[in-house]
Amino acid sequence: MKKISEVAFIIQARTQSTRVPNKMLRDFGGSTLFEVAINKFLSSTIIPKENIWISILDKELKDVSAKYDLNVFNRSEESTHEPVVLQKIFEWHQKLDYKYYVILNACGPLLKIETLDDFIADFLTSPSRGSFSVFEKKHFMYDLQHNMLNNFLGEEKYLTTFETKLLEPIYEAAGCLYAGTMSDISEDIYMGTFKSKDSPQFYIMNESESLDIDEPWQFEMAEIIYKRQVSEGEKL
């Protein structure tokens, strides 16, 4: 069993978004994506505040972090540039004195705090070195040669009826939560090798919480849903 004192809880952000300009700091339901993410960590019933780290470069983000009196890891300019190299983008892996990490994606504002806490509790009690948030999909999926990727559990004569209830589910990355072992990053391992079932283990969450904002339409849609859920008293 992992000790929570050994885990760094990390939000990594930057201001140079090209598809959604100023994505982290523009108004989002009366707040910002950056502060929504910070408040998820602070509202957790599990996370010690002293274990929270904000990995940022921009002064604007540092000013916001200062309001919450949070630990700041000063990421380098190089860590924000392409190509994305694991050790470069997560340069904190050799500089923060923790054995494990949990990363919260600040672009996923619909993630519920109870899901965050459950992910953490699951990771702490798991023998796996990493955990990856996913959700189940029951759709007909095909590769480039038009071969179906998921298994059909019904009789072959019903295959072309497109009955999704007869499909074995496959998993899609949720883009919300990632956990792993610090030392593995030096070996180019992010969460796990993805070569065996528990490397990393999959944490299955609700697809409705998984929206990862990459495009303007996703920002607008997420804000509408977020404002409705907040007005209904949900803990986001």
Give 209-236 pLDDT, tens digit per residue: 999 999 999 999 999 999 999 888 777 7
- What digits encode the pLDDT tens for the residues 158-205? 677 788 888 888 999 999 999 999 999 999 999 999 999 899 999 999
- What digits encode the pLDDT tens for the residues 54-82? 999 999 999 999 999 999 999 988 888 87
Structure tokens at 91: 């340069």
Structure tokens at 9: 């809880």
Cα–Cα nearest to 128, from 193, 205, 198: 198
Q: What share of the chain is helix, strand, coil (3-state, %, to 5)?
A: 35, 20, 45
Centre a 10 Å sphere on the Cβ of residue 5 and count the other Cβ atoms it contains: 10
Domain definitions of the chain by residue range: 4-134+174-231
Spatial separation of the C-alpha atoms in residues 132 and 123, rounded to whole Å? 9
Residue 166's pLDDT is 85
In CATH, what number does 4-134+174-231 get? 3.90.550.10
Residue 18's pLDDT is 79
Residue 233's pLDDT is 76
Q: Which residue has the tokens 């959700």?
A: 135
Residue 160's pLDDT is 77
Residue 51 clears pLDDT 80, i.e. is over it: yes
Residue 215's pLDDT is 94
Beta bridge partners of 181: 100
> pLDDT band at 148, cuts 50/70/90?
confident
> Are residues 116 and 40 in contact, defined by beta-carbon separation less than 8 angstroms?
yes
Residue 79's pLDDT is 85
Residue 50 clears pLDDT 90, i.e. is over it: yes
- What digits encode the pLDDT tens for the residues 5-31? 999 999 999 988 778 889 999 999 999
Residue 161's pLDDT is 79
> pLDDT band at 83, cuts 50/70/90?
confident
> Are residues 46 and 114 in contact, defined by beta-carbon separation less than 8 angstroms?
no
Question: 91-124 as b/e, with b when 16 or more CB fall inside 10 Å?
Answer: bbbeebebebbbbbbbbbbbbbbebbbebbeebb
Spatial separation of the C-alpha atoms in residues 56 and 75, rounded to whole Å? 5
Spatial separation of the C-alpha atoms in residues 7 and 4, rounded to whole Å? 5
- What digits encode the pLDDT tens for the residues 123-145? 999 999 999 999 998 888 899 99
What is the full DSSP assignment across 190-216? BSB-SSBTTBTEEEE--GGG-----SH
Residue 230's pLDDT is 87
Residue 109 clears pLDDT 90, i.e. is over it: yes
